[in-house]
DNA sequence: TGGTGCTGATTTGTACACAACATCGTTGGA
DNA sequence: TCCAACGATGTTGTGTACAAATCAGCACCA
């Protein structure tokens, strides 16, 4: 796969993965190859190439005769993925850190501004988008490509489930606002660390926040079980 | 993809990946979809599904009008992958370690025996096979599936290049024997750690040996450059 | 009334024909 | 003699028809 075909593949792949992570395609949703083929003005063949990759990476599950379904992840499996994600988070500052220039520092500062605006007018979708943009900005701090690739995969695999359960329609508006508040603190802390070039600290801060956000999710899941059993 | 189709996919995928890692398909070799289709008694379509995954994971590169080529990795990129692999190695003992039972301990002991036999009659191919078997046995020590998956990918991606450069046709028989010797020490150390249930130590020993094996490779690459420039 | 099997519709999986592209050898002219 | 253009050949990428599988709805019977 080369040239134009490659470019189209990347375009569709990135877009679909983003839709899955932003919950435009929520877990359990069924996609149809022919619909996608029509949307991207091609035949099923190139679409199937993209869906195959998304399936290999665990975002989708194709079932013969049924359809292509967006996967869901139970809390036990999610915990395994989070454990690994926590460890990888810290490596951002340890493996080939890229000294941030002035543009990068401004970008982190801009993230903080966007986040403060979000606190005033909360929205799940805007939160999801900001969270993703922030993640990609963080990834520019390491030049280790394999680390970037694996971190991306763990991020996309966990964040959508976390968003759905922690700040989704299930949760109250209160929990959404609360999560945005925690996120603002993370962005502020990391922006400060980046401002003074302390990349190792960035990794440690990130690690702590990733771990805490899962801990909150788990606690909330525990409450739900408790409430259901009453 | 489900049922029988899935099983066939896994079978072909695993086999081809193994061939690539054991250097039956060395870097630069060109594969033909139609040949593979004939070998596995099917059409190009299911084969392309497998090749697509192998390409996504970086083992292959399909070029329109040319062929499907086994990738090679330059020493700079390899170093990035190794840095990450070193870090992940240690996690084996920290993330969901599986307490080894008597069977597992015997399996490690058997590895040591195989390794001692290999020292007496060195063979690159047998070394590659033993190295891979040992890796898979190590993976049974953690129950964290994402960690297993990523470790596998890093292993398959680096080991084939390492084998080619450190113990392949390029190197002398002396370097092969030397590497087998180092490997025997690693297997012995790890078997001992497993025997007394010290899984955290297993991770640390493994980490050290992975780092050292790359260091030797890099040193040898340096010598070659030096020799070439004389 | 409940359950059981059938049939049609829907969807993914496979096979195959053809298009697009790259490579190499050949041939013709300067 | 050199080189440039062309065509033959071989390979992956795309489109499409059909096979295989699942599911829902319904008829039918105990």
A59-68 as b/e: b if 16+ CB within 10 A:
bbbbeeeeeb
Q: Are residues B92 and B117 in the same domain?
A: yes
Give the span between the Cα atoms of B42 and B38, in whole angstroms. Answer: 6
Q: Are residues B57 and B139 in the same domain?
A: no
Q: Are residues A59 and A118 in the same domain?
A: no
Is there contact between A64 and strand D, defined as CB under 7 Å from any strand atom? yes
Radius of gyration of chain B (CA): 19
Q: Do B80 and A96 touch (CB under 8 A)?
A: yes
Q: Are residues A47 and A135 in the same domain?
A: no
Beta bridge partners of residue A93, listed in sequence order: none
pLDDT, position B222: 79
The more confidently predicted of residues B96 and A68 is A68
Residues of B with CB under 8 A from a CB of A: 1-3, 5, 49, 52-53, 55-56, 62-64, 77, 80-81, 83-84, 87, 91, 94-96, 144-147, 150, 154
Q: Are residues A101 and A146 in the same domain?
A: yes
Distance from CA of A144 to the nearest CA of B (A): 6
Mind listing the pLDDT tens digit for each residue in B153-189?
999 999 999 999 877 666 677 889 999 999 999 999 9
Give the span between the Cα atoms of B225 and B143, in whole angstroms. Answer: 42
Distance from CA of A201 to the nearest CA of B (A): 18
Q: What is the CATH number of the domain that holds B151?
A: 1.20.120.530
Q: Which of A55, A70, A85 is the last residue of a domain?
A: A70
Residues of A with CB under 8 A from a CB of B: 1-3, 5, 49, 52-53, 55-56, 62-64, 77, 80-81, 83-84, 87, 91, 94-96, 144-147, 150, 154
Residue from the list A64, A81, A96 with its beta carbon closest to the beta carbon of B5:
A64
Distance from CA of A4 to the nearest CA of B (A): 11
Q: Which of B40, B70, B100 is the last residue of a domain?
A: B70
pLDDT, position B112: 97
Strand C, nucleotides covered by protein (CB < 7 Å): 10-17, 20-23
Contact residues for A225 (Cβ-Cβ < 8 A; gap 6+)? none
Report the candidate in A217, A90, A219 with the shortest Cα–Cα distance to residue A160.
A217
pLDDT, position A223: 76
What are the pLDDT tens digits along chain A (230 aa)?
A: 888 899 999 999 999 999 999 999 999 999 999 999 999 999 999 999 999 999 999 999 999 999 999 999 999 999 999 999 999 999 999 998 899 999 999 999 999 999 999 999 999 999 999 999 999 999 999 999 999 999 999 999 999 999 998 876 666 778 899 999 999 999 999 999 999 999 999 999 999 999 999 999 999 887 777 676 66
Domain that holds residue B213: 75-228
Size of interface A-B (CB pairs under 8 A): 69
Q: Which of A23, A47, A70 is the last residue of a domain?
A: A70
Give the span between the Cα atoms of B179 and A207, in whole angstroms. Answer: 37
Place of tokens 């092969």: B176
pLDDT, position B96: 84
Q: Are residues B125 and B30 in the same domain?
A: no
pLDDT, position B171: 65
Q: Are residues A108 and A210 in the same domain?
A: yes
Q: What is the CATH number of the domain that holds A52?
A: 1.10.10.10
Q: Are residues A11 and A83 in the same domain?
A: no
| pLDDT exceeds cutoff 80 at B146 | yes
- Residue B227: pLDDT band (50, 70, 90) is confident
Is there contact between B28 and strand D, defined as CB under 7 Å from any strand atom? no
Mind listing the pLDDT tens digit for each residue in B181-218?
999 999 999 999 999 999 999 999 999 999 999 999 99
**DSSP string across B116-151:** HHHHHS--HHHHHHHHHHHHHHHHTTB--HHHHHHH
Q: Are residues A155 and A207 in the same domain?
A: yes
Q: Are residues B39 and B83 in the same domain?
A: no
* Number of folded domains that form chain B: 2
What's the average model confidence in pLDDT over B104-127? 96
Q: Are residues B59 and B138 in the same domain?
A: no
Q: Are residues A97 and A44 in the same domain?
A: no
Q: Which two tokens stand for residue A68?
A: 């292509």
Query: Would you say B99 and B187 are in contact if contact means Cβ atoms under 8 Å apart?
Result: no
DSSP letter assigned to residue B29: P
Contact residues for B169 (Cβ-Cβ < 8 A; gap 6+)? B124
């Amino acid at each position: 796969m080369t040239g134009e075909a490659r470019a189209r593949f990347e375009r569709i792949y990135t877009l679909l993965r983003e839709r899955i992570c932003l919950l435009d395609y929520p877990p359990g949703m069924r996609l149809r190859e022919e619909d996608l083929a029509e949307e991207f003005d091609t035949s099923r063949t190139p679409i199937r190439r993209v869906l195959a990759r998304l399936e290999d990476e665990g975002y989708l599950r194709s079932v013969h005769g049924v359809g292509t379904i967006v996967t869901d992840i139970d809390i036990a499996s999610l915990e395994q993925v989070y454990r690994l994600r926590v460890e990888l988070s810290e490596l951002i500052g340890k493996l080939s850190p890229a000294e941030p220039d002035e543009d990068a520092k401004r970008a982190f500062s801009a993230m903080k501004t966007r986040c403060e605006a979000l606190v005033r007018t909360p929205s799940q979708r805007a939160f999801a988008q900001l969270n993703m943009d922030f993640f990609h900005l963080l990834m520019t701090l390491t030049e280790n490509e394999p680390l970037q690739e694996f971190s991306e995969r763990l991020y996309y695999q966990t964040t959508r489930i976390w968003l759905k359960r922690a700040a989704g329609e299930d949760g109250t508006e209160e929990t959404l606002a609360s999560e945005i508040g925690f996120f603002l603190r993370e962005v502020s802390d990391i922006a400060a660390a980046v401002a003074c070039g302390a990349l190792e600290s960035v990794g440690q801060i990130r690690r702590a926040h990733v771990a805490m956000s899962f801990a909150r999710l788990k606690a909330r899941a525990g409450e739900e079980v408790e409430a259901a059993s009453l």
